[in-house]
Amino acid sequence: MKLYSAPLSLFARKVEIALHEKGIPFERVMVAFTQTEGYRPKHPDVLAANPKGQVPVLVDDGLALFDSTLIFEYLEDAYPAPPLYPATPRGRAECRLHELYADEVMLVPLRSLMYRSGPRAADPDERARDRDEALEAEAVIARHYGEVEQRLGGREFLCGAFTVADIAVFMMILYALRLGGPPIDGHPHLAAWYARVAGRPSVAPVIEEIAAADRALSFPVDAP
């Protein structure tokens, strides 16, 4: 099995965590990335497998897959133990909703913080717009924290046991924090859950690698 990943790719790192959780050996290929040029040059294998030219791309026995959600579902079907989805149809649907919430709702304001780790715009008006949009996004992200706090309640994980829902939501919050987003301290269930997930053997090394990639590749975050 081969995974095409990238140092700061949120979605590729999600797949890495799932592979580690399932104990599946894989070869990792890190594609080229810089904060100034992005993903250039595009890796030819990624371009051949994914019409969007993006990671993650997973290749298993000649089958090439892209999109982290599709890869999650393939891994669950092909390598069912240990499971990363609940056993019941309702539980699996709720798990998918959590992942969808992370990928399609939580990601939207997070994008407005991403300029903070890249080169600053030369135009002062553009820099001011970036700062204003980021401040508005932080308020939305804080509301999302409150949503996750309610969904967790007193549970250990979002769907009872550790699932792809926890991977997806955790990664969004990790990236919000690394980009100077609002703290989670005011949400006790969320903070306890975050620490619990961060300490997992599948997750902790990924966090360390992302931090190292930031030190090597990213501009200092200048969050207000």
**Is the torsion defined by CA of 67, 73, 78, 83 positive or negative?**
positive
Cβ–Cβ under 8 Å, residues 159 and 95:
yes
Beta bridge partners of 27: 2
Stated pTM of the model: 0.96
Closest CA to 164 of 81, 54, 83, 53: 83
> 61 phi and psi, to 5 degrees?
55, 45
pLDDT in 10s for each residue of the chain, 224 residues:
999 999 999 999 999 999 999 999 999 999 999 999 999 999 999 999 999 999 999 999 999 999 999 999 999 999 999 999 999 999 999 999 999 999 999 999 999 999 999 998 999 999 999 999 999 999 999 999 999 999 999 899 999 999 999 999 999 999 999 999 999 999 999 999 999 999 999 999 999 999 999 999 999 997 55
Rounded alpha-carbon distances, angstroms, from residue 174 to 70, 74, 102, 124, 177? 22, 25, 12, 29, 5
CB atoms within 10 A of CB 64: 15
Beta bridge partners of 58: 3, 65
- How high is the pLDDT of residue 224? 55
- Domains with residue ranges and CATH for the chain: 2-78 (3.40.30.10), 89-200 (1.20.1050.10)
**Alpha-helical segments (H) within the chain:** 10-22, 44-49, 68-78, 89-100, 107-110, 124-152, 164-178, 188-198, 204-217
CA distance 212 to 206: 10
The token duo for 3 is 């995974």
Strand order in the sheet with 27-30: 27-30, 2-5, 57-60, 63-66
Cβ–Cβ under 8 Å, residues 29 and 2:
yes
What type of residue is 41? P
The token duo for 47 is 């371009």
CA distance 77 to 125: 50
The token duo for 165 is 């829902």
Considering all CA atoms of the chain, what is the largest pairwise distance in Å, rounded to the nearest integer?
53
Q: How many residues does the chain have?
A: 224
